[in-house]
C-alpha cells in the first residue's frame, strides 16, 4: 500500500515495506508524473537511442514500428530489446484455435542496430507466416542465422575501430568457405559437431590446412559473440582438431643477401627495385610500404610516419630513417616521371636540391612507390598502389613479408637486442608497464636511431663491394650517404611553365 499526506508545505510519501521519505510538495508532484512514450514510430537508431528507460513510476512499454507490422522494441528498466510477433497459418494451429501468435526475440540494442534488426525481423515474420517456425520450442531458441550473426560481429568490429584488412580477414572465410552455412540457424550448427569437424576436414583438402584453420577461427569468433545475446549450444569448434601450423622461418641469412641483391638488380623498374630494398632496410609490412605517401616522409626529422599499420590508427608510429633508407627514397624520388602535376614546394627538407625537385615534380599526396598512372581528370593523375609481388622472369626469391622476416633475422646477427627489434617492427610488447610507455616517442630517440643505423650498416656489409658501389652512385647530382661531395653537374633548374608550353607547341 502506498499514499501521501501534505504537512507543513511538504509532501510525505510512503510505500509498502519502505521507510517514510520526505520530499518538497512541488518536486513530488513532478516526479509522480510518468513519462509518456510514443505507441508507434519508425524504428531507427537515432529514435531508439532517445527512448527513455522505464524508470519508476514509468512502466515498461512497447514502441511498434510503423513500417513493418509485428516489429517492435520493448523498453525496460535497463534494456531495449527488438522483438517480432506474427500469426501462424491455419495449418499450424490446434483444433478449434482461432489464432496462434508466435513471438521471437531479435536482439538487444545497441548490440543489434535497428537496420540489422529490421532485416532479421522480415526473415522471421516470413518464416512464421509460412509455417516454418512453430511454437514447439522456446521463443528465439533457434537463435540467429550465421549470416545475421556475422552482420552483428562486423558491426562490432567497426565500433572497435578494427582495420578494413582485419574485417576482410573474417569476411572472406565466412562468406566464401562457409557459404552453405549462412542461412542455417546457429543452434542447428552448434548441435551437430560432427558436421563441423567434417567441414574442417573438407576445407583442409580443398583449400589447405592454414585456410581451414582460419575459417574455423573466424566462425568461432562469430559464434562466441552470438553467445552473449542468445542461449545457444556450446561452441562446436571445440570439437575440431586444428591442423598443425609451423612458423615460416624464411628470412634471408647474411650469406643469402648478395644472391638476393643480384635478383633485385634484374628488375627493370627502378621504383620496384627500391620498394623491395626499402622493405628490407625498414622491416615494414608490405602493406605499409605500398601505401606510404610522400606526405608521411620527413627528411628533416629523418623519420617516416606509418599512419595505419596492423592494429589500426591507434598503432600508428614514426620509424627512424637511416642513411641507406634516405638514399633509397632519394633514388625513388628521382626515378619519378616528370609528367605529374606541379604543386607548392615543401619547406625545410633534407637537402635544398631534393626540396627543389620535390616541389616541382612530386605530389605530396602521391604514393612513394606508385604503380601505373591512371588519368583521374583532364589535369590530374592518380597513381595506383604498387603490388609487392614479382612474376615471370623478375620473380624474387624473397618479397613482402619474407623481407620482414629477413629484417628480424639480420638484426639478430647484427647484435641488436630483441626488445629493440620488436619495437622497431611495431610488435605489441606484453606486460603492464608497456601501457605507460609512449612507444612512438621512444622510437625517435638516439638509442633506437643508433640501433636502426646498425641494422642498415650490417645489411650493407653483407653485400659484395661491387654491389655496394651500385648503391653509392650519384643520386640526382649527389652521391650516397657515405660521401657528401657535390658533383660538378648540378641539378638543372626546372623551366617555367609558360616556357615549357611554348616549347611543346613549337615541337608540335
Please, what is the Cα angle at 201 between 199 and 204, to 5 degrees? 110
Phi, psi of 303 (to 5 degrees): -150, 160
DSSP code at position 70? T
- 332-388 pLDDT tens trace: 877 654 333 333 333 333 344 444 444 554 556 678 887 655 444 444 444 454 555
Query: Do the bridges between strand 317-320 and strand 80-87 make them parallel or antiparallel, or are there none, so unpaired?
Result: unpaired
Give the count of beta carbons closer than 10 Å to the beta carbon of residue 481. 18
**CA distance linking residue 423 with residue 481, whole number of Å:** 25
Q: Which segments of 37-170 are extended strands (E)?
A: 40-41, 61-65, 71-75, 80-87, 101-109
Q: Topology of domain 58-239, per CATH? A: Double Stranded RNA Binding Domain (3.30.160)
**CA distance linking residue 465 with residue 80, whole number of Å:** 72
**CA distance linking residue 498 with residue 359, whole number of Å:** 17
Average pLDDT over all residues of the chain: 75
Domains 58-239 and 254-471 fall in the same CATH topology: no
How many Cα atoms are found within 13 Å in the side-chain-facing hemisphere of 215? 26
CB-count exposure of residue 465 (10 Å: 0-12, 13-18, 19+): exposed
**CA distance linking residue 223 with residue 361, whole number of Å:** 52
Q: What is the CA radius of gyration of the chain?
A: 33
pLDDT at site 419: 87
**CA distance linking residue 198 with residue 245, whole number of Å:** 19
- Please, where are the H alpha helices in 33-163? 45-50, 114-130, 146-159
- 256-268 pLDDT tens trace: 999 999 998 888 8
Query: Do the bridges between strand 303-306 and strand 3-7 make them parallel or antiparallel, or are there none, so unpaired?
Result: unpaired
The total number of residues shown for the chain amounts to 508
Give the CATH architecture of domain 254-471. Answer: Orthogonal Bundle (1.10)
Average pLDDT over residues 117-134: 80
DSSP code at position 340? S
Report the number of secondary-structure helices (H) and strands (E) in the chain.
Answer: 19, 13
Phi, psi of 65 (to 5 degrees): -80, 135
* 367 to 172, 245, 323, 364, 373: CA distances (angstroms): 27, 35, 21, 8, 11
Query: Do the bridges between strand 297-298 and strand 101-109 make them parallel or antiparallel, or are there none, so unpaired?
Result: unpaired
CA 105 to chain centre: 31
β-bridge partners, 367: 293
The pLDDT-based confidence of 391 (bands split at 50, 70, 90) is: low
pLDDT at site 435: 61
pLDDT for residue 440 is more than 60: yes
Query: Do the bridges between strand 303-306 and strand 297-298 make them parallel or antiparallel, or are there none, so unpaired?
Result: antiparallel
Q: Which residue has the higher pLDDT, 318 or 337?
A: 318
- With beta carbons less than 8 A apart as the criterion, state whether 259 and 253 touch: no
Instruction: Give the domain ranges of the chain.
Output: 58-239, 254-471
The pLDDT-based confidence of 144 (bands split at 50, 70, 90) is: confident
Q: Which segments of 265-386 are extended strands (E)?
A: 297-298, 303-306, 317-320, 370-375, 381-385
pLDDT at site 350: 35
Name which of 328, 320, 258, 303 is nearest 453 in CA terms: 320
How many Cα atoms are found within 13 Å in the side-chain-facing hemisphere of 501? 3
CA 216 to chain centre: 20
Name which of 324, 366, 363 is nearest 344 in CA terms: 363
- 227-255 pLDDT tens trace: 888 888 899 999 999 998 887 778 889 99
pLDDT at site 301: 87
**CA distance linking residue 233 with residue 192, whole number of Å:** 10
**CA distance linking residue 9 with residue 49, whole number of Å:** 38
Query: Three-state SS for 106?
Result: strand
Q: Which residue has the higher pLDDT, 166 or 7?
A: 166
Helix (H) or strand (E) holding 23: strand 21-24
pLDDT for residue 10 is more than 80: no
- 463-500 pLDDT tens trace: 999 988 888 765 544 333 333 332 223 334 444 444 44
* Long-range own/partner contacts, residues 303-309 (CB < 8 A, 24 or more apart): 303/444, 306/426, 308/163, 309/285, 309/426
- With beta carbons less than 8 A apart as the criterion, state whether 78 and 53 touch: yes
State if pTM tops 0.75.
Answer: no
pLDDT at site 173: 93
- With beta carbons less than 8 A apart as the criterion, state whether 371 and 385 touch: yes
Amino acid at each position: 500500500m502506498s499514499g501521501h499526506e501534505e504537512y507543513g508545505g511538504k509532501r510525505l510519501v510512503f510505500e509498502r515495506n519502505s521507510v517514510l521519505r520526505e520530499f518538497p510538495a512541488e518536486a513530488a508532484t513532478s516526479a509522480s508524473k510518468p513519462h509518456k512514450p510514443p505507441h508507434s514510430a519508425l524504428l531507427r537508431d537515432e529514435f531508439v537511442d532517445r527512448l527513455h528507460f522505464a524508470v519508476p513510476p514509468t512502466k515498461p512499454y512497447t514502441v511498434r514500428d510503423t513500417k513493418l507490422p509485428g516489429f517492435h522494441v520493448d523498453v525496460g528498466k535497463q534494456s531495449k530489446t527488438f522483438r517480432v510477433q506474427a500469426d501462424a497459418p491455419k495449418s499450424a494451429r490446434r483444433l478449434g484455435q482461432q489464432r496462434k501468435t508466435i513471438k521471437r526475440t531479435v536482439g538487444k540494442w545497441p548490440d543489434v542496430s535497428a537496420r540489422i534488426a529490421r532485416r532479421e525481423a522480415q526473415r522471421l515474420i516470413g518464416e512464421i507466416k509460412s509455417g516454418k517456425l512453430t511454437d514447439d520450442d522456446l521463443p528465439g531458441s533457434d537463435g540467429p542465422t550465421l549470416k545475421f550473426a556475422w552482420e552483428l560481429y562486423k558491426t562490432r568490429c567497426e565500433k572497435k575501430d578494427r582495420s578494413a584488412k582485419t574485417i576482410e580477414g573474417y569476411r572472406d572465410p565466412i562468406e566464401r568457405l562457409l557459404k552453405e552455412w549462412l542461412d542455417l540457424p546457429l543452434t542447428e550448427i552448434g548441435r551437430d559437431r560432427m558436421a563441423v569437424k567434417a567441414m574442417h576436414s573438407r576445407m583442409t583438402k580443398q583449400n589447405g590446412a592454414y585456410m581451414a584453420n582460419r575459417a574455423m577461427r573466424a566462425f568461432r569468433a562469430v559464434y562466441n559473440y552470438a553467445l552473449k545475446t542468445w542461449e545457444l549450444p556450446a561452441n562446436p569448434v571445440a570439437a575440431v582438431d586444428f591442423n598443425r601450423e609451423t612458423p615460416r622461418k624464411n628470412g634471408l641469412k647474411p650469406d643469402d643477401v648478395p644472391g638476393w641483391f643480384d635478383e633485385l638488380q634484374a628488375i627493370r623498374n627502378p621504383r620496384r627495385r627500391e620498394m623491395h630494398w626499402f622493405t628490407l632496410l625498414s622491416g615494414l609490412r608490405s602493406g605499409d610500404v605500398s601505401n606510404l605517401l610522400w606526405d608521411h616522409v620527413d627528411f628533416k626529422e629523418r623519420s617516416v610516419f606509418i599512419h595505419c599499420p596492423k592494429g589500426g590508427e591507434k598503432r600508428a608510429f614514426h620509424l627512424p630513417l637511416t642513411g641507406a633508407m634516405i638514399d633509397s627514397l632519394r633514388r625513388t624520388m628521382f626515378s619519378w616521371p616528370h609528367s605529374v602535376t606541379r604543386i607548392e614546394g615543401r619547406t625545410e627538407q633534407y637537402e635544398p636540391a631534393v626540396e627543389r625537385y620535390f616541389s616541382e615534380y612530386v605530389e605530396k599526396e602521391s604514393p612513394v612507390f606508385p604503380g601505373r598512372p591512371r588519368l583521374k581528370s583532364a589535369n590530374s593523375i592518380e597513381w595506383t598502389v604498387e603490388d609487392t609481388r614479382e612474376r615471370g622472369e623478375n620473380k624474387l626469391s624473397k618479397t613482402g613479408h619474407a623481407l620482414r622476416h629477413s629484417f628480424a633475422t639480420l638484426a639478430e646477427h647484427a647484435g641488436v637486442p630483441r626488445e629493440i627489434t620488436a619495437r622497431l617492427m611495431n610488435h605489441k610488447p606484453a606486460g603492464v608497464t608497456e601501457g605507460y610507455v609512449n612507444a612512438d616517442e621512444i622510437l625517435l630517440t638516439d638509442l633506437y636511431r643508433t640501433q636502426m643505423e646498425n641494422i642498415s650498416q650490417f645489411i650493407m656489409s653483407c653485400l659484395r663491394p661491387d654491389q655496394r658501389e651500385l648503391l653509392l652512385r650519384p643520386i640526382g647530382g649527389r652521391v650516397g650517404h657515405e660521401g657528401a661531395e657535390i658533383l660538378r653537374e648540378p641539378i638543372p633548374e626546372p623551366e617555367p611553365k609558360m616556357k615549357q608550353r611554348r616549347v611543346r607547341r613549337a615541337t608540335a
